[in-house]
Amino acid sequence: MLTEDVSEYDHVNVQVAIDALDGERELIGLSLERGFRVSLAELAGAGSKYGMTFEPGPPEYAPVDVGDRTISCLKSGLLLVSESGVPVAALLAGREDDGIPGIRLQAISLRRESAEAWLARLRALMRERNVYRGKVLSFGGDQPFRPAPVSVRSLPAVPRDRIVLPERALDRIERHTAGLARHRDHLRASGRHVRRGLLLHGAPGTGKTLSVMYLAGLMPERTVILLTGRTIGGVGMACSLARSLEPAMVAIEDVDLIAQDRSHYESAPLLFELLNAMDELDEDAVVLTTNRPETLEAALAARSGRIDLAVELPLPDGAARRRLFEIYGGGLTLDVADWEPIVAATDGTSPALIRELFRHAALGVAEAGRDSVRAADLLAAAVELKDESGRLTAALLGAG
């Protein structure tokens, strides 16, 4: 008997592969008590041994949303098939290890090689028809540092002109990601690896998350896997998923949450998991963001092959702030003859605060019953956002 354990997120790919298998098959549904683990070896006598903990019957399915469609996935069942004319019995049932759910596949046949061949065909179909390929994925859930089910996300389209960075910085980011992707065949032919790590760092609100979204749109053929906040503990699972879907891009925001200098900790299991996972990637890009680059572990930040390029996203200068006014003022009627006082009033602020500045001014104009935003409205909003009562808000939004 052969056994394979599959992650919960791959349940849908098992189903897609089963649906794609050719040849006749018979499916027997199994109604199992919650938490009950069944194997092919136990199946024949399980009813008497456990007091009828399962019953054969019609198959039960659960819907799984994969973004562009919903797929009905078999909860548990016994599949009777043949491989090259030899009967094979395959069992699909739920499992749970250390509180983490998943799927268990077992196959048995009079000839072991027939069961092996059937499972190999199933694995090949799972990879070939993987429903996540080319999509944007994230881990959901509300348990801190515990991997959760994968969900398909839709990111807004971010054109290049909305990325307000020094041109050299943006060129380097593009060259290190999309540029390497374009020339990967040439690089591989010359014996060069195409794995790369990119670190984006800077004050809060300087555009790190927006840059990640831009890169996702710049390489639409790649699967993008996002890890943020409470799901950052799923780094091992995310990199494993990336390997099965390569080429892919793994984006980990606020990586300092798990990758601080290990000299401050007796144990850093998630850091070691991240380092090992990055070493195992092949054609994938890893994009990390942090507000505190100085706290990162040297084995991550200072070792070539893990982080190959670090780019600082600075607070915008006067010219950049003027461009941001045009972006965030879009859709508003602006009655401003001279922008220089507003440029001066926003010195040392982040793009996030400038965006809030225009929202704040638009709200004030609406409350006043006017249609247009004047220079005085923007200056008043700038003062209000940066004065004593707004200091906490400004700090959170990235004001210098």
For the chain, the residue count is 400
Count the domains in the chain: 3
How many other C-beta atoms lie within 10 A of the C-beta of residue 286? 27
Encode pLDDT of 8-18 as tens digits.
Answer: 889 999 999 99
Q: Which residue range forms the structural domain that includes residue 25?
A: 2-128
Higher pLDDT, 1 or 44: 1
Phi-psi map region of 51: left, alpha, beta (phi>0 left; psi -120 to 50 alpha): left
Q: Is the pLDDT of residue 398 over 60?
A: yes
Q: Is residue 94 located within the same domain as residue 180?
A: no
What is the pLDDT averaged over residues 177-190? 76
For residue 102, the model assigns a pLDDT of 83
For residue 197, the model assigns a pLDDT of 86
Q: Is residue 72 located within the same domain as residue 181?
A: no
Task: Mean pLDDT check: name the lowest of 57-66, 299-308, 318-327.
Answer: 299-308
Q: Is residue 157 located within the same domain as residue 301?
A: yes
Q: Is residue 205 located within the same domain as residue 70?
A: no
Domain boundary among 312, 344, 377: 312
Q: Is residue 124 located within the same domain as residue 148?
A: no
**Whole-number Å distance between alpha carbons of 230 and 236:** 14
In Å, how far from its chain's centre is CA 49?
44
Confidence at 48, pLDDT banded by 50, 70, 90: very low
Q: Is residue 364 located within the same domain as residue 289?
A: no
Q: Please give the C-alpha separations between residue 80 and each of 88, 122, 337, 361, in angstroms, as whole numbers.
A: 6, 14, 77, 67
Q: Which of 138, 167, 163 has its CA nearest to residue 218?
A: 163
Highest mean pLDDT among 27-41, 165-179, 271-285, 376-390: 165-179
Phi and psi torsions of 134, nearest 5°: 80, 10
Q: Is residue 211 located within the same domain as residue 303?
A: yes
What is the pLDDT averaged over residues 226-236? 81
Q: What is the CATH number of the domain that holds 190?
A: 3.40.50.300
Q: Is residue 278 located within the same domain as residue 159?
A: yes
Confidence at 232, pLDDT banded by 50, 70, 90: confident
Domain boundary among 312, 347, 362: 312
Q: What is the CATH number of the domain that holds 331?
A: 1.10.8.60
Q: Is the pLDDT of residue 353 over 80?
A: yes
Q: Is residue 281 located within the same domain as residue 169?
A: yes
Residues pairing with 136 in the sheet: 153, 224
Confidence at 234, pLDDT banded by 50, 70, 90: confident
Domain boundary among 256, 288, 312: 312
Q: Please give the C-alpha separations between residue 333 and each of 296, 343, 355, 370, 372, in angstroms, as whole numbers.
A: 45, 18, 16, 10, 5
Higher pLDDT, 254 or 231: 254
Q: Is residue 303 located within the same domain as residue 342?
A: no
For residue 22, the model assigns a pLDDT of 78
Encode pLDDT of 72-97 as tens digits.
Answer: 999 888 889 989 899 999 989 888 77
**Whole-number Å distance between alpha carbons of 293 and 296:** 6
Encode pLDDT of 309-324 as tens digits.
Answer: 899 999 999 999 999 9
Q: Is residue 285 located within the same domain as residue 341?
A: no
Q: Is residue 282 located within the same domain as residue 337?
A: no
